[in-house]
Amino acid sequence: MFDPTAARLRLDRLWKLKAQFGSERGANRIFLDEIVSDRLQLLAGLQVLRDELQFSVPPAAADRERCSADLSIPSVVTTLAFTNCGDRIHQGEVARYEQVVGSRFATLSEIGTLKPEAFRPTGGGTDDGATLAHVTWAHALDEPLRARIYGGNPQSFVMCGFDLKVHVGRLDAEDGSVVFGKTQESEWREPRAACGAIVGTLGHYDEKNDVHRRIRGNLGEANFAFLTSEGARSKEGFDLTPTVAAAIVAVQGMRDTARALTREMDERGVAHLTASITVNRPSMPDTMIYLARATVFGGELAWQGLGTDARKYGGELASYKSDRRLRLSYDGQHGALLPIEREDYATRKTALPPDPLV
């Protein structure tokens, strides 16, 4: 019988942390102050199970099998999935993500390497939220291991982390103007579209192109019509259309995955999901914009952040030290002011088979 007390207490702590949505910041700031800080609330005070050696089965035939964890104490199994466009333009964000986030939540193999679920759909976001949810949950535990962990302590649970990312280029001219949706491989290279898939979908839609159809589907017909006819602009008059489109692709992917998890996970599943944009700027480390977060547990899906209606997006460039950083708003709000939305769902109980290895 599952006792949800430990998971519920930690989830409540997570939602007491304020999030700063919409502001362009250094990647490490977002990884540490938003993603890592949220997820560590879910692990605090529990035995964390993420090393394959902890799952070994006694009695031991080799020394490595003597590393099995004591499953009788309250424990949390962690697994990590992330998506990102496969464009090579990223400068540092991918490596920092694995160092800062992956090193804390991804499963470790027997030889000590990280084992995240890594998907790189063209255009970012997700090709299919249901598939991403299914693969991540199914790979976390096999049935015999699930029986051992669930039978070990009534408060033990599984935490699935999902980070869905997109990207957008940014070019700053000497006259102070800013172009979003383009960047350069280096200062001596020609500008090019980024994300090319999203910019291409908006500017040269090809119904025979699978990627274009998927991105248009993520945007929805109303948003696609608005972004291709009117577009979005900042207070300064700069074109934000590629940025807004990228944001919607990421947030919609997060929401689709979260809803799929309500059907995929059992009652001991806890999911934490995020959506963000990587901003590609020539000759400097990538910056990022944190867009949204969501949790799934115990019959409640909760999310907070920027939404999926293109007409409600706004933006401006705000001074930061010697730089100007983009700050997106949604329905006139940004930062921690965006409301938390909640939906109910029916939890799925699991009838576990006996563990043949014990």
Domain borders along the chain are 5-57+71-331
Q: Averaging pLDDT over each range in 61-65, 148-152, 351-355, which range is the top one?
A: 148-152
Q: Tell me the DSSP string of 278-293.
A: EEE-TTSPPEEEEEEE
Average pLDDT over residues 137-161: 96
Q: Are 23 and 294 in contact (CB under 8 A)?
A: no
pLDDT in tens, 167-211: 999 999 999 999 999 999 999 999 999 999 999 999 999 999 999
Distance of alpha carbon 110 from alpha carbon 54, whole angstroms:
10
Q: Is the pLDDT of residue 71 over 70?
A: yes
Percent of the chain clearing pLDDT 70 (strictly above): 97
Percent of the chain clearing pLDDT 90 (strictly above): 89
- Sort strands 157-172 and 323-330 into parallel, antiparallel or unpaired: unpaired
Distance of alpha carbon 209 from alpha carbon 223, whole angstroms:
19
Q: Is the pLDDT of residue 358 over 60?
A: no
SS3 314: strand
Average pLDDT over residues 108-114: 94
Count CB-CB contacts under 10 A for residue 221.
Answer: 9
| CB neighbour list of residue 178: distance below 8 Å, 6 or more residues apart | 170, 171, 172, 236, 238, 317, 324
Count CB-CB contacts under 10 A for residue 228.
Answer: 16
Q: pLDDT-derived band of residue 349, with 50, 70 and 90 as boundaries? A: confident
3-state helix, strand, coil in the chain (%, to 5): 35, 30, 35
Handedness of CA 126, 293, 99, 260 (dihedral sign): negative
| CB neighbour list of residue 253: distance below 8 Å, 6 or more residues apart | 83, 124, 125, 126, 129, 164, 218, 275
Q: Is the pLDDT of residue 152 over 80?
A: yes
- Range with the poorest average pLDDT among 54-58, 138-142, 264-268: 54-58
What does the pLDDT read at residue 66? 79
Average pLDDT taken over every residue of the chain:
94
Whole-model pTM: value is: 0.95
- Residue in 303, 294, 313 with CA at minimum distance from that of residue 246: 313
Torsion, CA 273, CA 275, CA 281, CA 282, rounded to 10 = 50
- Residue in 186, 209, 294, 203 with CA at minimum distance from that of residue 242: 203
What does the pLDDT read at residue 199? 97
Q: Are 88 and 195 in contact (CB under 8 A)?
A: no
Average pLDDT over residues 290-306: 98
Cα separation values, 156 from 4, 5, 27, 77, 336, Å: 8, 10, 32, 8, 31
What does the pLDDT read at residue 292? 98
What does the pLDDT read at residue 352? 66
What does the pLDDT read at residue 58? 73
Average pLDDT over residues 309-319: 97
* Between 92 and 180, the higher pLDDT residue: 180
* Between 230 and 90, the higher pLDDT residue: 230
Average pLDDT over residues 306-320: 97
